[in-house]
Homo-oligomer: A and B are copies of this chain.
């Protein structure tokens, strides 16, 4: 397979798919809209998952597992919720196949279910049906439960990692005694999402509130982290919902409070998904392919030995192994590429796969007691003394991690516009795109009008907004909020 990819500037969307497929991250599954996450992509996801799993465990959350199947009636118990998910539900209606002499295999009509079952698009309803059994008193609270699971939302337009019928995610579902505690939880998780995005994925994000029209179906408030991709479109990378008492009321979940009253439980839910992988690709990728932040790179260092004979191999191994062993003790993730392909082929492949550091080692290097290191984040190649590798590799990985973040932050700054003029706003959305930070009168009609005219939506009402003395970009009325508009994935 040719490793040549479409140019990012020429056709961003094709560039994206090329990178996903040719870097070996994912492939299309046989059922329309489904995705196969290939080993390299899954290793990346495992590192993201493990990082976040540790964060939530350190803050007192525990993992559990709830069923894939939800009775159809459950979904309808919360009015907004069913409204939000009804149009994309996979529905199980039968439980048996049978052979039909002629046509082959058919669904056995006698196995029809009395009540159809939904494949979870999200698990609020099934989880709150269980919480009803588990929560009686304030002593049972808080419940801080998370699950890592697959969910299904039937999609017509597929984009690997970004929009697929099935995707992997974590969904936290917590139950609390008070509105205040639920709010604190929602914000704690949002902060963990920010850390995950910025410190691990090197992906700068805005944090804040969603507008009413963009919030989760069933939430009182939805908070989010919102990132800018390299085509200047926004990616919603994680959401944390304050569900108030909506699901507790829908499922009748009450508790006896400390002062002996029967009250409805307060809820939150929050999730990040394999979509984050799409975010990493589109935040850092370049014309050569992926660029992975070291903290989540399956291989942080790839070793490309330059050899011809078995004797060369032995000499190189003898020279470099002690160094690699020291690095492994420091938990550096290393891959040695001893295949027969040419060095040039290998360089291209590992650049495509975004490995942060490459170490080249040949016979000449051994003589000079050197190796060559290349940084993927910038086209930089330099020789370093063997004795300095063990110290420098971890330092370089830290530097690459910071540099990728800094580059992305600069890119976002450069493409964020502050304007008061709607004509300019339209011009920006029509031509180069980017984030526009401006005033909004708080009216859903304004939001809709802007969306209809420009395709841009309010991505977030950022925590650091300053709506004083500014006016709405559209209506000219005093702004209720300072918001960030962009076209989004």
Hey, which chain B residues are within 8 Å of A72, CB to CB? Answer: 97, 105, 107
A2 at the interface (CB under 8 A from B): no
Bound complex: CA A38 to CA B71 (Å): 20
A330 touches B (CB below 8 Å):
no
Contacting residues, chain B, for A414 (C-beta < 8 A): none
Residues of A within 8 A of B (CB): 27, 29-31, 34-39, 41-43, 45-46, 62-76, 82, 86-99, 104-105, 107, 111, 116-119, 126, 129-130, 133-134, 145, 149-150, 152, 154, 165-166, 168
Question: How far, in Å, is A161 (CB) from chain B's closest CB?
Answer: 12
Question: Which residue in chain B gives the minimum CB-CB distance to A117?
Answer: B31
Sample of 17 further A-B pairs with CB below 8 A, known A36-B67, A93-B107: A27-B130, A30-B67, A30-B126, A31-B70, A34-B69, A36-B64, A39-B62, A39-B63, A39-B64, A42-B63, A43-B63, A73-B104, A75-B97, A76-B105, A86-B99, A107-B116, A119-B119
What residues of B have a CB within 8 angstroms of the CB of A76 in the complex?
A: 99, 104-105
Could you write out 28 A-B pairs with CB less than 8 Å apart?
A30-B70, A30-B126, A30-B130, A31-B117, A36-B64, A37-B64, A39-B145, A41-B64, A42-B62, A42-B63, A45-B65, A68-B152, A69-B166, A72-B97, A73-B104, A75-B97, A76-B105, A86-B97, A86-B98, A86-B105, A88-B95, A89-B95, A91-B94, A92-B119, A93-B93, A93-B107, A119-B119, A149-B150
B96 pairs with A87, CB closer than 8 A: yes
> Would you give the shortest CB distance from A147 to chain B, in whole angstroms?
8
Query: Taking CB as reference atom, which chain B residue is nearest A82?
Result: B105
Residues of B within 8 A of A107 (CB): 72, 91, 93, 116
Per DSSP, are chain A's interface residues mostly helix, strand or loop, or mixed?
mixed
Q: Please, which residues of chain B bring their CB within 8 A of the CB of A152?
A: 68-69
Residue of B nearest to A41 (CB): B64
Residue among A31, A104, A129 with max Cβ neighbours from chain B (10 Å): A31
In the complex, which residue of chain B has the Cβ closest to the Cβ of A85? B97
Judge whether B36 and A62 touch: CB under 8 Å.
Answer: no
Please name the residue on chain B nearest to A165 by beta carbon: B69
Please, how many angstroms separate the alpha-carbon atoms of A148 and B457 in the complex?
Answer: 37
- Give the complex CA separation of A111 and B45 in angstroms: 33
- Contacting residues, chain B, for A29 (C-beta < 8 A): 66-67, 69, 126, 130
Cα–Cα, bound, A68→B39 (Å): 17
Question: A63–B39 Cα gap in the complex (Å)?
Answer: 6
Between A90, A145, A166, the greatest number of chain B beta carbons within 10 A of the residue's beta carbon is seen for A90
Residue in contact with A30 in the complex, picked from B71, B87, B99, CB distance below 8 Å: B71
Q: Which of B36, B45, B75, B95 contacts A66 (CB 8 A)?
A: B36
A98 to B87, CA, bound (A): 7
A221 to chain B, nearest CB (A): 26
CA distance A258 to B1 in the complex (A): 19
Q: Which residues does chain B contribute within 8 Å of A134, judged by CB atoms?
A: 27
Q: Are A31 and B67 in contact (CB under 8 A)?
A: yes
Collect the chain B residues with CB atoms within 8 Å of residue A86's CB.
96-99, 105
Min CB–CB distance A62 → chain B (angstroms): 4
Q: Verify B95–A90 contact, CB threshold 8 A.
A: yes
A257 to chain B minimum Cβ distance, whole angstroms, is 18
In the docked arrangement, what's the CA distance between A149 and B66, Å?
13
Q: Using Cβ atoms and an 8 Å threshold, which residues of chain B touch A96?
A: 86-89, 91, 154
Nearest first, the 8 A-B pairs at minimum CB distance are A34-B67, A29-B67, A39-B62, A37-B65, A95-B154, A86-B97, A91-B94, A76-B105
Report which of B35, B39, B91, B105 forms a contact with A95, defined as CB distance below 8 A: B91
A277 to chain B, nearest CB (A): 11
Which residues in B have their C-beta under 8 angstroms from that of A35? 67
Contact call B64/A82, Cβ cutoff below 8 A: no
Please tell me which one of the listed residues B62, B91, B150 contacts residue A97 in the complex, with CB atoms under 8 A apart: B91
Q: How far is the CB of A114 from chain B (nearest CB, A)?
A: 10
In the complex the two chains form, is B30's CB within 8 Å of A129's CB?
yes
A353 smallest CB distance to B (angstroms): 14
When chains A and B are docked, how far (Å) is the Cα of A392 from the Cα of B116? 56
Most chain B beta carbons < 10 A, residue from A36, A88, A152 = A36
- Chain B residues with Cβ below 8 Å from A118 are 97
Residues in B with CB closer than 8 Å to A63 are 39, 42-43, 46
